[in-house]
Amino acid sequence: EAGVTQFPSHSVIEKGQTVTLRCDPISGHDNLYWYRRVMGKEIKFLLHFVKESKQDESGMPNNRFLAERTGGTYSTLKVQPAELEDSGVYFCASSQDFASTQFFGPGTRLTVL
């Protein structure tokens, strides 16, 4: 069974530019989560999709971040415009249903210069 995949693995951009991260969950998993780890701190929740609907977006830091999951399959997280403090590792996770194990992707390391 293929795991959660994320693209790209690394991204280096300049402040003010736009970056789009992609996550492909495990096939059949309706629940998709975005998290990020900044500066070696704890992994923080960003948002949760159930199929194509946003179930909880309480962790989104501001309106520069936009997440979509059209069709309920893969998801994208766009940062526009990027700021220095957005640097970190962005993880995606998926689960079959609400209460089951969340499987993580390898993460996208974003560096904003």
When asked if residue 99 is in the footprint of other proteins (CB under 8 A), the reply is yes
Closest distance to other proteins from the beta carbon of 97 (Å): 9
When asked if residue 1 is in the footprint of other proteins (CB under 8 A), the reply is no
Q: Which is nearer to other proteins, 1 or 99 (CB)?
A: 99
Rounded distance between C-alpha atoms, residue 48 and residue 55, angstroms = 5
Nearest alpha carbon to residue 20 among 67, 73, 89, 55 = 67
> In 31-49, which positions are buried (b, 16+ CB within 10 angstroms) versus exposed (e)?
bbbbbbebeeeeeebbbbb
With contacts defined by CB under 8 A, name the span among 16-24, 53-61, 62-70, 75-83 that binds other proteins. 53-61
The answer to whether the beta carbons of residues 64 and 80 sit under 8 Å apart is: yes
Structure tokens at 5: 């995949």
When asked if residue 70 is in the footprint of other proteins (CB under 8 A), the reply is no
Count interface residues toward other proteins (CB under 8 A): 26
Write out the residues near other proteins by the rule CB under 8 A.
Answer: 3-4, 31, 33, 35, 40-45, 48, 56, 58-59, 91, 95, 98-99, 101-107
